[in-house]
Amino acid sequence: MDRKIPILMASQHPDNISSPYWKKDPFVTTYEETEECYRCYHDLGCDEYMWDWEGKLVDEAVIDRLLRKYNEYFSKHQIGRDLFLTMRIPNQAYESGYRNARAFMGMLSAEEFVRDLKLNTPPLFELILPMTTNAEELMQIETTFQRTAQLKSEVFEQKLGMDRVDVIPLFEGVDNLVNSHAIIQKYFALYRKHFGHNPEYLRPFVARSDPALNSGIVATTLGIKIALSQFAQLAESTGIPMYPIIGPGGLPFRGHLHPQNVKHFVREYAGVYTAVIQSSFRYDWPMDEVKAALKYLKRELPKRQAVTIPPQDRQGLLKIIAIFENHYRKTVEKLADQINDIAAYVPSRRERMLHIGLFGYSRKVGKKALPRAIKFTSALYSIGIPPELIGVGRGLADIKQAGLMDLLFKYYVNLEHDIKNAGYYLNRENLQFLVNDSATWKEVQKDVTLIEEILGLELGPRALEHYIHRNSTSNVYFLKQDGRDFVKEIEWAAKWRKSLG
């Protein structure tokens, strides 16, 4: 294979609290994302940028704008050869498919435009399909794009340029993560039947935030470990190279990838080839730390091989996943209304579309709709209840009784590190107030007690920034109780933890 596989994929995930270093305010408009894309390449050394069509507004003329405004740079560093722009499109099972038609035509138009400039073609040739649940969804993208390209060529009487795309399956639920190998195997079979040969490679994408939103931190981390092991085994058995991608945020609940935690991250997610670098990583930390951390990731990620999980260990991990997932889901479903109430006040950082109905879809736990993962995480941190803690204490107690503790720590190597770092932001006083308001919070209080007993940790603030964060979360609670605005306190707390959510 002669194409370059990117290692650092910058994304538009709106989890930054601070302003980007290249502008004065923290809100990035759709129009400004073109400049952001250029700066991620030029300033930070990222070799890929995710152009996100899922649930948000998007500039459809991105290639035209980049090449016209930064022609000298992109003539030397060509998109599709040296640097990559990869579109995440909506899944038609959850969001209207008309946006995919526009994305397809944008890709085809970009290929024609770049060909006229005598630069590398095609500039855009990969699509990320979110919430992949079956192989047929992947093949539908392949065949629909192929028909679209042929139709464009016929209607406009033009020579057919590109007529196919590479699809990146994005697995977003724990169930889908642990069964992703079966989906990929079927996709390979359908691909061979349609094209007459195997794909040259595959870049399976494991989500990190949405599985945590739906199943909690422990179930998600173990589900990803199973997926990474299966990808490696599948690559060996089929001869088709796999280059896994992971999409983490800065806080432990969403993946714990920030400039000061890269060594722990690389150790935890060995087998990942490409890491998504979200907004908080780029904008909420000192620039010298950001650049040093990105260089470390670029050097170290391709070296790490996935841990092989034998069948007997896999069965044990599936039991652990079910235990932690059950405790987490039952509690979050009962707290959903209160979490949604706070999440409504979390400030936005991008031009997202409506979350439900014609223009989007909602995430759910049980029968309850939840906000997107960033606002969910922000809401709970803003009242001093890190979501990492929910269900974990009770889960630890159950697996200790079942004799599965060694297996848990064998595969979730940073568990104690992640819980300890999240625990710095616990506000015990708020938790007691919440228990007084609603008995459901007693389950979280029990989690805190059991975590401290079983892991030997003392949760709560330790450093100056943790105490200031605690004070802001107290202000959030009391201002909300009094019916006053508390958005500024949400923002102030987020400044101290260096991530909106």
Instruction: Give the model's pLDDT for residue 161.
Output: 72
CATH superfamily of 8-303: Phosphoenolpyruvate-binding domains (3.20.20.60)
Answer yes or no: are the C-beta atoms of 475 and 481 closer than 8 Å: no
Strands 363-365 and 368-370: antiparallel
Residue type, 447: D
Give the closest residue to 171 by CA, choosing from 203, 139, 216.
Answer: 203
Residue type, 490: I
Element (H, E) at 228: helix 217-238
Looking only at Cα atoms, what is the longest distance across the chain? 72
Establish whether the linkage from the previous residue to 122 is cis, with ω within 30° of 0. Answer: yes
Answer yes or no: are the C-beta atoms of 381 and 497 closer than 8 Å: yes
Q: What is residue 350's three-state secondary structure? A: coil
Instruction: Give the model's pLDDT for residue 145.
Output: 87
Instruction: Give the model's pLDDT for residue 2.
Output: 82
Domain boundaries defined on the chain: 8-303, 311-497
Instruction: Give the model's pLDDT for residue 358.
Output: 31
The pLDDT tens digits along the chain (501 residues) read 789 999 999 999 999 999 999 999 999 999 999 999 999 999 999 999 999 887 667 788 899 999 999 999 999 999 999 999 999 988 877 766 667 778 888 888 889 888 889 998 999 999 999 999 999 999 999 999 888 878 776 677 677 677 889 999 999 999 999 999 999 999 999 999 999 999 999 999 999 999 999 999 999 999 999 999 999 999 999 999 999 999 999 999 999 999 999 999 999 999 999 999 999 999 999 999 999 999 999 999 999 999 999 999 999 999 999 999 999 999 999 999 999 999 999 999 988 654 433 333 456 666 778 889 999 999 999 999 999 999 999 999 999 999 999 999 999 999 999 999 999 999 999 999 999 999 999 999 999 999 999 999 999 999 999 999 999 999 999 999 999 999 999 999 999 999 999
Distance CA 294, CA 300 (A): 10
In the numeric block, which tokens belong to residue 188?
């390979």
Element (H, E) at 126: strand 126-129
Q: Interior CA angle at 17 toward 95 and 213, to 5°?
A: 45
Handedness of CA 236, 238, 239, 240 (dihedral sign): negative
Instruction: Give the model's pLDDT for residue 127.
Output: 96
The length of the chain, given as a count of residues: 501
